[in-house]
Amino acid sequence: MKIIVAGCGKIGSSILETLVKEGHDVVAIDRKNDLIGEISNIYDVMTVCGSAADCETLAEAGVDKAELFVAVTDSDEVNMLACFFARRMGAKHTIARIRNPEYNDKNLVFMKQNLDISFTINPELFAAQELYRLLKLPAAVNVETFSGRNLEMVEMVLKDGSPLDGISLMDLRRKYKAKFLVSAVSRGGEVYIPDGSFVLESGDRIGITAAPNEVQKLLKMLGIVQRQARRVMILGASTTAFYLAEMLIDSGTAVTIIEKDAERCRKFSQELPDGALIIHGDGARQELLLEEGLGSADAFVSLTGMDEENILVSYFAELQKVPKVISKINRGELSYMAEKLGLDSIISPKKIISDVLVRYARALQNSLGSNVESLYRLMDGNVEALEFNVRSDFKGIKIPLKDLKLKSNLLIAGITRGRKALIPSGEDSILPGDKVVVIVSGRRLFDLDDILA
């Protein structure tokens, strides 16, 4: 499928890398000549140097033959205008990155309709939503939701002395009566889609699929429930921090934001509702963090623009025994280093957006129509969790799961029927209208029929 990506910054480069791996015919546009040269050396893509909102540049990129046009420059207005031109020049679908909080839901609906934009993405808002989920469930290092939040995939790291150390999944289901499924395990760089005989070990990173109330029940049984964060300290007055602070304040959480840029502090003080304490100062100074109450915080979230600073300050927060520490890290090699330091909760806005784009592209590729509802890459990108809408032409309709011949390294982890979430057994079957969550490693799925051997 031909896809044009306009804007080759951090987000754009991540999208390019992912789409090339997916096997798409990709064209990259950016107005910076040195960046375009770097992109052409790294990725197997055609490149065009020029403005994304210039019709001649778009024509040179072959926009008239593009199935998908993605505008992720650093300007919301350029992105919207580029999508408008691309659509008028023949692109079948367009996606615009729109980050400004001033473009609220009503404005977005109006702009999408009048500019003929197929879909909008906001990396900072998506990242804030993921952060909010982690702060609501502090025992997790990652939380993904399916079926309108009726089903969750929760990633946890089994610490030394965990009650799950040395227990097989079969015995685990017998011992703990909550309705859940351990659907993926990462251990020593290897990823497993486990069966009932698989034995867990301390240090494992496990993915648990369950309804939200069943997740809470299981964590309670395991004795590892942490209360929802009520006092949160945020380092860096970024756009992500603004969105997150709004969500936390609305839920009654006390928020402290530390920022060294005085103008950003003034802006946050004026625009955030009561409940946020804005501190002008350098959050890399340990004395300042301690003076402003780091030791009594329920959670610390580092959202500066520097991965290295986020890692170091988060590590200091860990040493102060802050119950929940989350770092924003975009560079993969630094994520690995952070995990080695014991920083398990890491978010990457560019990874979040890459997942969204992969889901959208696969849905477009599916000639029978879109049935990919959600797609997440888990366990450091080695596992995919996909949610499919079940159509009446699915070949496995009404067949008990124990009788379905499935491909290897694949697991049906959940079924949502109406508003009811099911953790399936071998006796359950898939019906038209269901939503099905599939966990898979080592292969790509475009359609639910792809799970069948």
| pLDDT tier, 16 (very low <50, low <70, confident <90, very high otherwise) | very high
Per-residue pLDDT for 370 more than 70?
A: no
Per-residue pLDDT for 213 more than 90?
A: no
Which CATH class for the 231-322 domain? alpha beta
**Residue 36, C-beta contacts closer than 8 angstroms, at least 6 positions apart:** 8, 28, 30, 47, 48, 49
> Which range is least confidently modeled, 190-194, 223-227, 395-399?
223-227
Q: What is the CA radius of gyration of the chain?
A: 23
Question: 291 versus 356: which is more confidently predicted?
Answer: 291
Which CATH class for the 361-451 domain? alpha beta
Provide CATH code, domain 133-222. 3.30.70.1450
| pLDDT tier, 368 (very low <50, low <70, confident <90, very high otherwise) | very low
Strand partners, 146: 151
pLDDT of residue 225: 64
pLDDT of residue 360: 82
pLDDT digits (tens, 9 = 90+) for 77-106: 999 999 999 999 999 999 999 988 777 666
Per-residue pLDDT for 367 more than 70?
A: no
- CATH fold for the domain made of 2-121: Rossmann fold (3.40.50)
pLDDT digits (tens, 9 = 90+) for 325-339: 999 998 877 887 887
Question: 358 versus 372: which is more confidently predicted?
Answer: 358
Averaged over 219-244, what is the pLDDT? 86
Domains 2-121 and 361-451 share a fold: no
pLDDT of residue 217: 84
> Per-domain residue ranges for the chain?
2-121, 133-222, 231-322, 361-451
Distance, in Å, from the CA atom of 267 to the CA atom of 271, rounded to the nearest integer, reads: 6
pTM of this structure: 0.82
Q: Can you give 331-376 as a three-state secondary structure string?
A: CHHHHHHHHHCCCCEEECHHHHHHHHHHHHHHHHHCCCCCCEEEEE
Of all residues in the chain, the percent with pLDDT exceeding 70 is 97
